[in-house]
Amino acid sequence: MKLTKKQLLKCGETLEDFKTLIPRYREVKNDDLKVKLFLTRNRNPLWDLTNVKFFKTGLMSEEAKKKKAKLTNDHYIQRSKGLRFIFDELDRNEDMPLTTFIEYVKKYSSTVVLTKDEHKAVTSFAKSNPSYLNYETYLACNIKINGLSDIILK
């Protein structure tokens, strides 16, 4: 699966936007409140980029595979937390090429398919356990997604 020319252009523009935000990220990254606000404020571009097939892992929970319920795409790393990883990478390499940026977006912002009920459980658990990444929450909620650990360990 490849990105279209338009999708590549969007990725490139997002990378350039993020590069302009690196100085601000450096100012706030060690302030828990300010970095949280920064990441929350700037996470929507990831949603815009990752809402295409290229960023869908194709993985589904065992319940979702039964297709008896409504399904939803879920970022296995929450967008704000994934954005933190991306900005940490940009902080180390502010001249990051587009191909590398796309690899990081894919690694930190791709989705899996859950049932709506599983998604509700994940959301509820996450509110009480804000330090968990979604894929850790899947384990805590007994949501099985075969192949996800292979992606995470890459």
Confidence of residue 21 (pLDDT cuts 50, 70, 90): very high
**The domain containing residue 57 runs over which residues?**
5-152
Asked whether the predicted pLDDT for residue 1 surpasses 80, the reply is no
Quote the number of domains for the chain: 1
pLDDT digits (tens, 9 = 90+) for 100-120: 999 999 999 999 999 999 999
- Quickly state the pLDDT bin for 137 (edges 50, 70, 90): very high
Q: What is the pLDDT of residue 20?
A: 97
Report pLDDT digits (tens) over 46-95.
888 888 999 999 999 999 999 877 999 999 999 999 999 999 999 999 99
What mean pLDDT, rounded, does the chain reach?
94
- Provide the percentage of residues in the chain whose pLDDT is more than 70: 99
Asked if residue 37 has pLDDT above 80, the reply is yes
Contacts of 24 (CB under 8 A, 6+ apart): 38
**Which of the residue ranges 9-23, 35-49, 83-97 would you say has the lowest mean pLDDT?**
35-49
